[in-house]
Amino acid sequence: MFYLTHQGKLMTYQFSYLADGETSILDSTKPNNMTTDQWEKRKSESNPNKKDFRAIDVMSNSPITVTDEELISNIEKLFSKYQFRHIPVLNNGKICGMISDQDVLRHKGNGGYNYLKSKDIMSILIICAHVDTPIEKISHVLLREKINSIPIVNSEGTLAGIITTSDIIRLTVENSFFKL
C-alpha cells in the first residue's frame, strides 16, 4: 500500500502502473550466451525458495529525522556525519517532508543559508509505503517516479523506516543467483 503525504496527512494512493497481474519490468535479463530454454530452466531451479521481500525486511529502521524547524546548517552536518542522502522531516511526529543532500547544496550559496529551516527547502508531497508493501512494487515506484527514497510507515501512519535505492541494490546483490 502506498500513500501520499501532504501537510502531515497520509492519503492512500494507487499507482496505475502497479495493477495486479502486470508483468514485471524488473525481471532478470537473459544473458546473451544462454538459450531461452537454458534461461527458463535456470530461473526455475534458482528460485524454489524465493522470498517475497517486503518493506519491513529491507528498510533502515529508526531513521534519523529532523523537525520542520531544523536549521539547514544542522541538517548539512547530519548528512556529513552519517553519510546518508535523505532525511525525513517530522512535525508533531507526522511526516511532513523530505530533504535530500541536493536540496541543501542548492541553497548553500544563498545569503540567508544560516537562517533557512527545513520547512523552507523540503519537498512537501511525499510518496510513502506501508511496512508490508512488496519490494518489487517499491522498486517500480522508485524507478517510475525517479526518486531515490521512500519513507516507510506502520499501521498507525507513523514513520517506521526508510528505503533507498542503495537498499534495493544491496538486496539485489545479496540475493542474486548470479553470484561471483
Q: Which residue has the higher pLDDT, 47 or 68?
A: 68
Question: Which SS3 state, helix, strand or coil, does residue 65 take?
Answer: coil
Asked if residue 30 is part of any domain, the answer here is: no
Confidence of residue 7 (pLDDT cuts 50, 70, 90): confident
Predicted confidence at residue 45, as pLDDT, reads 65
Asked if residue 134 is part of any domain, the answer here is: yes
pLDDT reading at 76 higher than 70: yes
Asked if residue 20 is part of any domain, the answer here is: no
- CATH number of the structural domain spanning residue 115: 3.10.580.10
Comparing CA positions, the residue from 80, 55, 9 lying closest to residue 154 is 55
| Cα dihedral across residues 40, 140, 166, 64: positive or negative | negative
For the stretch 82-136, pLDDT in tens is 999 999 999 988 899 999 999 999 888 777 788 899 999 999 999 999 999 999 9
Given a contact cutoff of 8 angstroms between Cβ atoms, the answer to whether 152 and 55 are in contact is yes
Asked if residue 26 is part of any domain, the answer here is: no
Given a contact cutoff of 8 angstroms between Cβ atoms, the answer to whether 42 and 165 are in contact is no
Predicted confidence at residue 48, as pLDDT, reads 54
Expressed in percent and rounded to 5, the helix, strand and coil fractions of the chain are: 35, 25, 40
In the sheet where 60-61 sits, what is the strand order? 9-13, 2-6, 126-130, 149-153, 159-164, 60-61
Domain membership of residue 135 as a residue range: 2-14+53-174
Asked if residue 166 is part of any domain, the answer here is: yes
Asked if residue 24 is part of any domain, the answer here is: no
CA angle 156, 91, 159 (to 5 degrees): 35
For the chain, the domain total comes to 1
Mean pLDDT of 16-35: 61
Residue 19 CB partners (closer than 8 Å, separation 6+): none
Asked if residue 100 is part of any domain, the answer here is: yes
Q: Pseudo-torsion of CA 160, 166, 169, 173, nearest 10°? A: -90
Predicted confidence at residue 38, as pLDDT, reads 74
CA distance 168 to 26: 12
Given a contact cutoff of 8 angstroms between Cβ atoms, the answer to whether 96 and 84 are in contact is no
| Cα dihedral across residues 93, 86, 133, 7: positive or negative | positive
